[in-house]
Amino acid sequence: MDDGLNLRGRVAIITGGGTGIGAATARLFAAHGAGAVVLAARTGVQIDAVAAEIEGSSSTRALAVPTDVKVEEAVVDLVAATIEAFGRVDILVNNAGGTRMGPLESTPTKAWDSVFALNVRGPFLCTREAGHHMIEQRSGVIVNVSSGAGVNGVRHGAGYSAAKAALQMFTRVTAGEWGRFGIRANCVAVGLVASERAVDAWKVAGIDPEAFRQGIPLGRVGEPVDVASSILFLSSDASSYVSGETFSVNGGPQLGGPALG
């Protein structure tokens, strides 16, 4: 049987590719035969390291392009570098994101704008620029990385929740407008995941991630590869008739009410 998860020969751009979900996705793409992965992040050292690791352990070519996805010119250069190096772009994973938490009543306008710039403007710019080439190719896949905050909201995260909800609707409209070009767009809404940055933040805040386990039906905190595996599925031919959807990757629904039995 053909392996529907095989990415042989395909070129993928992955933002936020130096750590966590982005790095795990790049490694998984390489393991499934991607022709090339282009890693984008503001920190060049991290994406350089991941690119070197991939080229040293697989036949996948890897290119690190330092990029601030909030800056239009930087995104234009990222896509141009991809086309120059590999001649096409088949997969775009909009993974770069982040938040600033705080009570709504004391949220500065600058913080609100910053959250939207990273979580909505960045994916828009990357999608538009990569989309030009996907439309010309009449093929392409886009996977946006959202959050459970965009589905259910999160206290003290009004801006982040609103931005991730916007990203989910952006995904749906992209799929609706570009389906006629053979382009699919889907989204993953991520729950609690022990990425490097999350673990560091938990340490600073004195949070024990094990304290969250009881509220997760599967009884564990997620790992970056758990999300990367879903991104691989949505990027591959195994999901060829799936578009415009948001998939929760969160260990199961957290239900209210008493615990019985």
Has residue 3 been placed in a domain?
no
pLDDT at 1 over 60: no
Average pLDDT over every residue of 65-77: 98
- What pTM value is reported for the model? 0.94
Average pLDDT over every residue of 63-87: 98
Strand partners, 248: 189
pLDDT category of residue 100 using cuts at 50, 70 and 90: confident
pLDDT category of residue 207 using cuts at 50, 70 and 90: low
Closest CA to 164 of 177, 186, 145: 145
CATH label of the domain that carries residue 72: 3.40.50.720
Check residue 261 and give its pLDDT. Answer: 56
pLDDT at 104 over 60: yes
pLDDT per residue as tens digits for the range 6-26: 999 999 999 999 999 999 999
User: 235-238: long-range contacts at Cβ-Cβ below 8 A with a sequence spacing of 24 or more?
Assistant: 235/7, 235/12, 235/29, 235/91, 235/93, 235/141, 235/143, 236/4, 236/5, 236/6, 236/7, 236/32, 237/4, 237/5, 237/6, 238/4, 238/5
Residue range(s) defining the domain that contains residue 168:
11-249
Which residues does the annotation mark as catalytic? 160
Has residue 244 been placed in a domain?
yes
Side chain identity at residue 24, one-letter code: A
pLDDT per residue as tens digits for the range 232-249: 999 999 999 999 999 999
- With H, G, I as helix, E, B as strand and everything else as coil, classify residue 41: strand
Average pLDDT over every residue of 109-114: 96
Has residue 117 been placed in a domain?
yes
Has residue 6 been placed in a domain?
no
User: What is the number of structural domains in the chain?
Assistant: 1
Has residue 5 been placed in a domain?
no
pLDDT at 30 over 60: yes
User: For residue 223, what are the CA distances in angstroms to 35, 80, 196, 229, 246?
Assistant: 25, 32, 10, 10, 19
Has residue 261 been placed in a domain?
no
Side chain identity at residue 186, one-letter code: N
